[in-house]
Structure 1
Amino acid sequence: MPVYTVHAAVADGAETHRAADRFVFVRDGFHFWAFLLGPLWLAWHRLWLALLGYVAIMAGVEIALSQLHTGAGTRFIAMFLIALLMGFEAASLQRWTRSRRKWRQLDIVVADDTESAERRFFDRWASAERGLSNAPAVDRGAPPPTRGVPGQPFSKAPSQPGDIIGLFPQPGAPR
């Protein structure tokens, strides 16, 4: 199933509710049209800085390959690999551009298509706003839990069993 990231323009809480129709869902995965028509796809999605970088990289590779007097096959393979990379990284370029424009990532949704992703996100978002969600709130910016910190779920040391199962010898036993 495809994975979608949900992005919204940075605003205070009240404006986020009013701007819910402007949320953007970015599908993760391979983008065929970005692979096939990279510059046009970048221009269509208004990724201007990425388009400038793409053109600069393509021109630099073409100049370098012509200076090395490479054949047409080598040039084709190099350009094909760059286009393939563009197809795989298109969603990352969209997310990067959104973060540069001061958008923030609200959630990650797994769904079959964009419409299902929107439905799942807004159902979850509305239930969380009403306080009906059973899922615990996840702070994506918090550090991972560590041992030795009271109150953390991983702060208890694992119990020491008498026997060790597997190919390892028993602790303290002669070899």
Structure 2
Amino acid sequence: MPVYTVHAPFPGGADLRATDKFVFVRDGFHFWAMIFGPFWLLWNRLWLALIGWLVFMAAFHAGLSSLGLGRSSIFFADIVVALLTGLEASTLRRWTLSRGKWRQLDIVVADDHDTAERRFFECWSQKQHGIVNDQWAVDRGGPPPTRGVPGQQFSNPPPIPAGGIIGLFPEPGGSR
């Protein structure tokens, strides 16, 4: 069963008004990326991946030609590169989204794209409490607690356990 990753634009990722911009990327082998590698990259607007693919293929062909390999060997090497392009196409798409300040919201397992959308939005809409759920600007009524300020909850560090420090080092600052 295919696995989809759900990506949202960073500023409005948790906003119900931005749901039309969510992107579902299917993980797995992409046949058309294998057959039409540069055209698939161009169609999906993966510009840096396309430039990298073109530079790699030019250097790859120049290197194989300088080694004196025959045309059939170069053809089979091109088939291997095409297979790798088909296998890594979804990774290139997720990488491009992450460079564009998109964030991954969830992973959904579904038979097809429509089912993945339905499953994601059923779970996601239950978690939303209002039209805007801005998780980065939450007012909790006061400044965060800090150490070293008298009278605050976290002013003093917790006491050391009775048997010493728990972990790999038996005493603070001790040698290994």
- TM-score over 0.5 for the alignment? yes
Within-5 A mapping of 1:36-47 = 36-47=35-46
Following superposition, the deviation at residue 69 of structure 1 comes to: 1.3
Is structure 2 residue 117 aligned with structure 1 residue 101? Answer: no
Q: Which structure 1 residue ranges, 5 or more long, are not aligned?
A: 132-175
For 1:60, the equivalent position in structure 2 comes to 59
- Give me the CA root mean square deviation: 1.4
CA displacement, residues 92-149 of structure 1 (integer Å, 9 cap, x when unaligned): 0000000000000000000000000000000000112259xxxxxxxxxxxxxxxxxx
For 2:152, the equivalent position in structure 1 comes to none
Q: Distance in 2 between matches of 1:73 and 1:38?
A: 20
The two structures have a TM-score, normalised by structure 2, of 0.71
CA displacement, residues 140-160 of structure 1 (integer Å, 9 cap, x when unaligned): xxxxxxxxxxxxxxxxxxxxx
Runs of 4+ in structure 1 over 4 Å off: none
Q: Distance in 2 between matches of 1:75 and 1:13?
A: 45
Following superposition, the deviation at residue 23 of structure 1 comes to: 0.2
For 2:115, the equivalent position in structure 1 comes to 116
Change (3 A) 1:63 1:126: same
For 2:16, the equivalent position in structure 1 comes to 17
For 2:5, the equivalent position in structure 1 comes to 5
Following superposition, the deviation at residue 11 of structure 1 comes to: 1.1
Q: Distance in 1 between matches of 2:13 and 2:31?
A: 36
Q: Distance in 2 between matches of 1:128 and 1:107?
A: 13
- Percent sequence identity is 59
Moved more, 19-28 or 64-73: 64-73
Q: How many residues align?
A: 130
The two structures have a TM-score, normalised by structure 1, of 0.72
Following superposition, the deviation at residue 50 of structure 1 comes to: 0.1
Q: Distance in 1 between matches of 2:68 and 2:106?
A: 49
Give the secondary-structure state (helix, strand or coil) at the position aligned to 1:105.
strand
Q: Which structure 2 residue ranges, 5 or more long, are not aligned?
A: 131-176
